[in-house]
Amino acid sequence: MRFVMNLAISLLATIALVTTAAVASAESVAVQDPKGDAPRAIDVTRIRVDNAQHAVRIHMHFADLHRSRVRLVRSELDVGKLLGRGYVIVFKRRAHGGFAKRLSWVRLYAEGGTTLPPCARLKLTWANDRADIRLPRSCMSKPHDERVRANVMLVSLTHKRDRVPNKFLSFSPWVSRG
């Protein structure tokens, strides 16, 4: 009886570990950007795109971030659909403080698009020389997309820009959903 009980406990522990690992896993890809190619306050040196089961995260690393000098944070997520469909995420500084957010479903290489309903769980967080965008799949109009690639652009209060990857309409490598 003791053997059966120990076996059952071991089996349950193994299942719990495997399940937890599967939920927490995400595929990711990083893109380096040269230090000094933009004003110090907004100079992005690296982005990492994580494509997890419940959210897509874009982590930005800065040379010397001055959050008070950031006017706009914009990210485009290409989901590999016909006609270049994807998401545009914009966080724009409000005059009275904080950032307004907007999520749109668009043709990435054309004008226009559809602004999606506000999603309270879409987040931009700041910590030292890092900023993170978290887009939960529940906010996405097409939450079952399996792969994404992303870019990021920051605009300073003086309208200087830094884009990663550096070229217009370029993206990180594709990253599959974990």
The verdict on residue 77 lying in a domain is: yes
Q: How many domains does the chain have?
A: 1
Please give the single-letter amino acid code of residue 105. W
Please give the single-letter amino acid code of residue 121. R
- In the block, tokens 């800065």 appear at 62
The whole model's pTM is what?
0.80
Q: What is the pLDDT of residues 44-77, one digit of tens each?
A: 999 999 999 999 999 999 998 888 889 999 999 9
Structure tokens belonging to residue 12: 């349950």
- In the block, tokens 């950007």 appear at 33
The verdict on residue 17 lying in a domain is: no
The verdict on residue 11 lying in a domain is: no
The verdict on residue 12 lying in a domain is: no
Between CA 91 and CA 126 the distance in angstroms is 12
Structure tokens belonging to residue 115: 């602004």
The verdict on residue 74 lying in a domain is: yes
The verdict on residue 67 lying in a domain is: yes
Which CATH number covers residue 127?
2.60.40
Q: What is the pLDDT of residues 138-155, one digit of tens each?
A: 998 888 878 999 999 999
Q: Domain residues for 124? A: 27-176
- In 3D space, the residue among 80, 68, 56, 49 whose CA is nearest the CA of residue 164 turns out to be 49
Between CA 127 and CA 65 the distance in angstroms is 10
Between CA 60 and CA 39 the distance in angstroms is 15
The verdict on residue 138 lying in a domain is: yes
* pLDDT tens, N- to C-terminus, the chain (178 residues): 554 444 344 433 443 433 333 344 679 999 999 999 998 889 999 999 999 999 999 999 999 888 888 999 999 999 887 667 889 999 999 988 889 999 998 888 777 788 898 899 999 999 889 999 999 999 988 888 789 999 999 999 999 999 999 877 789 999 999 8
The verdict on residue 170 lying in a domain is: yes
